[in-house]
Amino acid sequence: MLPCYAGVASLPGRPSFSCGGVQNVLAKVVFQSMGSGPFQFANGANHYRFIGLEIARASGSGLVGALVSAANSASADHIILDRLWMHGSLQDDTMNAFNVNHMSYAALIDSYTTDFHCTSVSGACTDAHVFFGGTSSTTDAVFKVTGNFLEASTENILFGGGSATTTPTDIEIRRNHFFKPLVWMSGQSGFMGGTGGNPFMVKNHLELKNAARVLVEGNVFENSWGGFSQVGYSILLTAKNQASATSQPLCPICAVTDVTIRYNTISHVGAGIAMADVGSAAGPALYGERFSVHDITIDDISVTKYKGAGTLLQVVNGWAANSLNNVTVNHITGFPDPGGRIIDLGNNISDPAMYAFTFTNNLVGQVTYPIWSTGGGTANCAYYDVPITSLNACFTSYKFVDNAIVAPLAFGPTKWPTSNYFPASVGGIQFVNFNGGNGGDYHLASGSPYKSAASDGKDIGADINAIQSLIAGVY
């Protein structure tokens, strides 16, 4: 579904529509007041499918919590939103398109969503999302988010971040375009913020604070920046026992486990992917473990353009039990900001070490600070900032081989684990078209020394053909 079918040929700051024509042929449902609506499901509602609608809210009517959700204390199942255009208004605070708490077998498919945002400082809300769950007291399971254009200011998709007594499971996130319009960034031409002029609050594209068995495949992640409470990471995996206003634990059972992220592209961001088991004022959550990240490209990471950390990956433990473990990063092609870091690494030496970390067959651009401490002085296992020293100190077991890392300025091969490659420049990799690490063709040229050089016989770096096949047709 595209806005063309509602008679809208283009939207400022969004990608062009591929429309065969523009004609208003959609039935339109508009929520006229504050609160949540126009659709709320009563307890026991089941097997509803909405097709071919424009679902919106009136301008100037106050905060809207969700356009579609379960009613208070209600549970629903088999709810499918199919080929819809769901949108807020240009400057009002609209928190959610689809709130799936207290639902099972819920799906958002082949839809277009725009203008879900919360205004910083002066707004009536803090976080806005297209798809939101993970703060429920019911056993929620089986969610599908496929084939959509997903636009929200804070997190386009969020699971967790509040009170919960269960962890949602079996979540499929495939072939979506995660997008934040750059016109929402202060200082940009055509800037659009809240009614008082403050920008909308921006954090991540995808954040998991409470979710298990998640597949993230064939998506395009575009535009995320810092300047608020975070630093522009595109994806954040961090099991969180959110604290109440009085520091009481809201979710000690929260977990983020068994997450696979594959065949995606991430572009124009302040930082790449964060995997962090860190506590809150209420203490740690239950588990954050078993993450597989492979065959993705991450480019145009910039500290200055996107007010970010400039880091490719963050790997952090802050728990005194159940430390971060079984994290695999394999066959990625990534270009952190030259003044940033490949891995932002941390754990308190008084806490159990992390284990089973794998970083293999990756192709990474040059940085000044390759594997660097997250802070905390000598109490941090990565304090000395020397790659092999930090890896040995932070993990009881790890594998770091067959990577091609453009030679960091201050750290020669002896400062790294053996069996890695250190081309002197990006030119030594021989991309088909590097293009400054911004929208290039990252296939390896036929003469590249890194073709078929990975431990599995493939090219080092991401499988570009597989990525292009899986994102083909994603708007």
pLDDT tens for residues 226-282?
Answer: 999 999 999 999 999 999 999 999 999 999 999 999 999 999 999 999 999 998 999
Summarize pLDDT for 364-376 with one digit per residue, the tens.
999 999 999 999 9
Average pLDDT over residues 381-394: 97
pLDDT over 70 percentage in the chain: 100
Query: What is the rounded average pLDDT of the residues 46-67?
Result: 97
From residue 189, give the alpha-carbon distance in Å to each of 93, 232, 305, 354: 22, 20, 14, 45
Cα within 13 Å of Cα(280), Cβ side: 22
For residue 136, pLDDT over 90 is answered with yes
Mean pLDDT, residues 50-59 taken together: 98
- At residue 339 the predicted structure's pLDDT band, cuts being 50, 70 and 90, is very high
User: pLDDT by residue (tens digit) across 279-334?
Assistant: 899 999 999 999 999 999 999 999 999 999 999 999 999 999 999 999 999 999 99
> What is the tens place of the pLDDT at every residue in 98-108?
999 999 999 99
CA dist., res. 49 & res. 139, Å (int): 21
Rounded Cα distance between 383 and 377, Å, is 6
Report pLDDT digits (tens) over 170-221. Answer: 999 999 999 999 999 999 999 999 999 999 999 999 999 999 999 999 999 9
Q: Residue 348: is its pLDDT beyond 80?
A: yes
pTM > 0.75: yes or no: yes
Return the percentage of the chain with pLDDT > 90, whole number. 96
78/354 Cα distance (integer angstroms): 39
**What mean pLDDT value characterizes the chain?**
97
Tokens representing 279 are 């506590």
Average pLDDT over residues 429-434: 98
Q: Is 408 a residue whose pLDDT tops 90?
A: no
Q: What distance in Å separates the CA atoms of residue 294 and residue 262, rounded to the nearest whole number?
A: 5
User: Is a pLDDT exceeding 80 seen at residue 409?
Assistant: no
